[in-house]
Structure 1
Amino acid sequence: MESIPLHSTVWHSARATYYAASDPRDAVGGACGYGDLVKAGYGMATVGLSEALFQRGQICGACFELRCVDDLRWCIPGTSYIVTATNFCAPNYGFTAEGGGRCNPPNKHFVLPIEAFEKIAIWKAGNMPVQYRRIKCRREGGVRFTIDGSGIFVSVLISNVGGAGDIVAVKIKGSRTGWLPMGRNWGQNWHINSDLRNQPLSFEVTNSDGLTLTSYNVAPKNWNFGQTFEGKQFEV
């Protein structure tokens, strides 16, 4: 599975389709685990990726710039749009990659909310040729840590990540522990089995650029499961 270079000026070829997100529930969920995308700060500027791009969830949170190409009838000329990877487009092996299995390997495919698709193409276009490149993410506020779990099982959703956008390693520290590595559960949900209750919590996150950001005492001693806390942010 190839990596997707960041900061590249080179555009790569892919295809894109859309879904009609008329139901508010369509903005909730996704394979990256962000939950309510509006509340998470991503809104409808989001995208689901085919297996060839998804990288088993490591790509979650990364930003892509898309533009429509090769069709003067449907492309909106001179436009591009920036979206965040928040979901997975599963393969459909009932079809071949060329005959209906749009998200089957080795296809590079983006599935956009219609609101995002219409920034670059007329909706009647359907399955459109596009070009894409990874770019740095610009976020407002700091990296967000949403703590969930029960007892000694601690799960942390990491969102609103600037810079590379995706996270490849996470450590957590209580006031009575050293730095403890967390494992990726799914998407950008990370977990650990450790009794961290009644301790202020610090986080160390590393992105795919190899940059590490440390946010000390993000959660106070009296934190509770279900709460979200904001730390520092990667520079862009």
Structure 2
Amino acid sequence: MASSSIILLVLVTFAIRDAHASVNSWSYAAHNNIVGRSTLAIFNHQQRPKFVSGQWMQAHATFYEGGSGTYGGACGYEDVVKDGYGMEIAALSTVMFKGGEACGGCYEIKCASDSTQGCNNAGRGQSSIFVTATNLCPPNYNQASNNGGWCNSPREHFDLAKPTFLKIAQYKTGIVPVQYRRVPCKKWGGIRYTITGNPYFNLVKVWNVGGAGDVVGVQVKGDTKLKWIELKRNWGQKWETKAMLVGESLTFRVKASDGRYSTSWHVAPKNWQFGQTFEGKNFK
């Protein structure tokens, strides 16, 4: 009888321990299921490699004149110089602009004309320019794609700021063939978030983005009532939401075109005001 009691006691002890382990495992799994949707987006980007330069492709380039306050209209950049892009910028043809998704992306461009009347460096080693997409080159279907309608679909075309075009090609040329490729964007400091609008309609400009440079998704959350919500692209890199952001300490999360995420925790304090800009974590 004593031996039987000891065996029974051991079996019960193991059963209790296994049951406790099962409960803990279930609790852990349940917790992961609850928070997984929010944390998965935050941490998955750590498994993705940094954005790297793409393959060389063919296109053409022209130039247009303007100022720092006009070169960024279609992307929502009010002043490309103040926003850190300088005059090294380009308007993209419709097929490349992708309804504003390309805004903020960076490109390396080389003039590819064999004519001495085309490239500044014809017959010598080709020099590169590095530009950021800040505008749209609209199509002109009243003109042929190869004769004036340079930005008509499906042409891939860069309309460069005049000072930048003149670094690689001659003014009298007007249009030159180019080679180009996507390259990582190198930015000083963090991603900037500029909030405008009113308590019932918020517009967030996302700029100075490193890495891939072009943002394809934005989320925001507060510190009290506001949970993670998706913002909608208004135009270019301006993102909108009608959620009540006022009175919340705001955290922003952006998704770049290469699938990487960057989360900037509590970059805007509870007492933030419309018109202010806040700096968060950038892509390396």
Q: Give, in whole Å, the separation in 2 of the partners of 1:149 and 1:8.
A: 36
Give the C-alpha shift of residue 174 in structure 1: 1.0
Q: Give, in whole Å, the separation in 2 of the partners of 1:7 and 1:119.
A: 25
Q: Which runs of 4+ in 1 moved over 6 A?
A: none
Give the C-alpha shift of residue 26 in structure 1: 3.6
Tell me how large the CA RMSD over aligned residues is. Answer: 1.4
Choose between structure 1 and 2: higher helix proportion: 2
Q: Give, in whole Å, the separation in 1 of the partners of 2:216 and 2:68.
A: 30
1:60 paired residue among 103, 118, 133: 103
Give the C-alpha shift of residue 84 in structure 1: 0.2
Structure 2 residue 65 is the aligned partner of structure 1 residue 20: yes
Q: How much identity, in percent, do the aligned residues show?
A: 49
The two structures have a TM-score, normalised by structure 1, of 0.92
- What SS is found at the alignment partner of 1:31? helix
Give the C-alpha shift of residue 98 in structure 1: 2.1
Name the structure 2 match of 1:169.
217
Name the structure 1 match of 2:274.
225
Q: Does the 8 A contact of 2:69 with 2:80 survive in 1?
A: no
Measured against aligned partners, the alpha-carbon deviations of 1:38-70 in whole angstroms (never above 9, x if no partner) come to 111101010000011111110100000000012
Name the structure 1 match of 2:227.
178
Measured against aligned partners, the alpha-carbon deviations of 1:184-205 in whole angstroms (never above 9, x if no partner) come to 1110111111111111111011
2:120 paired residue among 76, 82, 97: 76
Larger Cα-atom Rg: 2
Give the C-alpha shift of residue 105 in structure 1: 0.8
Give the C-alpha shift of residue 110 in structure 1: 0.5
Give the C-alpha shift of residue 9 in structure 1: 4.9
Structure 2 residue 165 is the aligned partner of structure 1 residue 117: yes
Structure 1 unaligned spans of 5+: 1-5
1:44 paired residue among 64, 76, 87: 87
Q: Give, in whole Å, the separation in 2 of the partners of 1:166 and 1:8.
A: 14
Q: Give, in whole Å, the separation in 1 of the partners of 2:53 and 2:282.
A: 22
- What SS is found at the alignment partner of 2:163? helix
- What SS is found at the alignment partner of 2:73? coil
- 1:74-223 paired onto structure 2 within 5 Å: 74-77=118-121, 78-176=126-224, 177-223=226-272
Give the C-alpha shift of residue 75 in structure 1: 1.2
Q: Give, in whole Å, the separation in 2 of the partners of 1:106 and 1:171.
A: 32
Distance change (3 Å), C-alpha of 1:169 and 1:24: closer
Distance change (3 Å), C-alpha of 1:193 and 1:9: closer
1:7 paired residue among 35, 48, 52: 52
- What SS is found at the alignment partner of 1:124? helix
- What SS is found at the alignment partner of 1:66? strand
Give the C-alpha shift of residue 99 in structure 1: 2.6
Give the C-alpha shift of residue 20 in structure 1: 2.9
Name the structure 2 match of 1:3.
none
The two structures have a TM-score, normalised by structure 2, of 0.77
Q: Give, in whole Å, the separation in 1 of the partners of 2:75 and 2:185.
A: 16
Q: Give, in whole Å, the separation in 2 of the partners of 1:155 and 1:221.
A: 17
AA at the equivalent of 2:58? S
Q: Give, in whole Å, the separation in 2 of the partners of 1:204 and 1:25.
A: 28
Q: Give, in whole Å, the separation in 2 of the partners of 1:52 and 1:198.
A: 41
Q: Give, in whole Å, the separation in 2 of the partners of 1:218 and 1:24.
A: 28
Of 42-51 and 67-76, more deviation after overlay is shown by: 67-76
AA at the equivalent of 2:281? K
Of 79-88 and 105-114, more deviation after overlay is shown by: 105-114
Give the C-alpha shift of residue 100 in structure 1: 1.6
Structure 2 unaligned spans of 5+: 1-50
Kindly tell me the number of residue pairs found equivalent between the two proteins: 228
